[in-house]
Amino acid sequence: MTAWSLHPRLRDDTHHVVSLALADVLLMDDANYPWLILVPRVAGAVEWVGLDPADAHRLLDEITLASAVLRELVTPDKLNVAALGNVVAQLHVHVVARFEGDAAWPRPVWGAVPARAYDARGLGERLDRLRAAFARHAVAGVSSG
C-alpha cells in the first residue's frame, strides 16, 4: 500500500488550513464562496462509504466541526456537503457555505462561475480566522457523538 499523499490537483487548487485527527482541511482558492475540502489521510480511499465504519463516522464528525466553524465565521444561509470525485478520485468532501445571491445561487458551485483566487491579504485573514476557529472548536471536542 502506498502512503497517503494529497492529490496534486487538490494541492494546486487549495491552501492547507489544519490537520484534524482523520482529515486535512483545505481552503479552496475561490473567494466566491467560503469553501472547505476535507481529505481523509487514508491511502487509496475513493468513496466515503468505502471507509471502514469508524473512519466514515469520524469523517462525518469532522465535517460537522468544519460546518460549525463556517457557521461561526460567516453565518451562511445553507451548507452544501458533497463527495463527488468524478474528476479527482481521491476521497475528498466539499463543505461550502452558501448564501442566497452568491455567484452560483441556487445552483451547485461546481463549474458555475470561474474561480476567483484570494488576494494575499484576504487569504491570510481567512486562514487566520479559520485556524483560530478550528482551535476553539477542537478544544470543545471534535469526537463527541
Residues that bind a copy of itself (CB under 8 A): 46-49, 53-54, 56-57, 60-61, 63-64, 67-68, 78-87, 89, 98, 105-108, 110-111, 144-145
> What's CA 8's distance to the chain center, in Å?
16
| CA distance readout (Å), 144 to 40, 64, 67, 89, 138 | 18, 10, 15, 29, 10
Q: Which amino acid makes up residue 10? A: L
CB of 24 to a copy of itself, least distance (A): 19
**Which CB atom, from 17 or from 118, has the smaller least distance to a copy of itself?**
17
**Which CB atom, from 44 or from 106, has the smaller least distance to a copy of itself?**
106
**Which CB atom, from 60 or from 73, has the smaller least distance to a copy of itself?**
60
Q: How many CB atoms lie within 10 A of CB 62?
A: 22
CB of 63 to a copy of itself, least distance (A): 6
| Nearest of 59, 66, 101, 91 to residue 80 by alpha carbon | 66
Under 8 Å CB-to-CB from 18, ≥6 apart: which residues?
A: 24, 25, 130, 131, 134, 135
CB of 130 to a copy of itself, least distance (A): 17
CB of 21 to a copy of itself, least distance (A): 16
**Which CB atom, from 32 or from 67, has the smaller least distance to a copy of itself?**
67
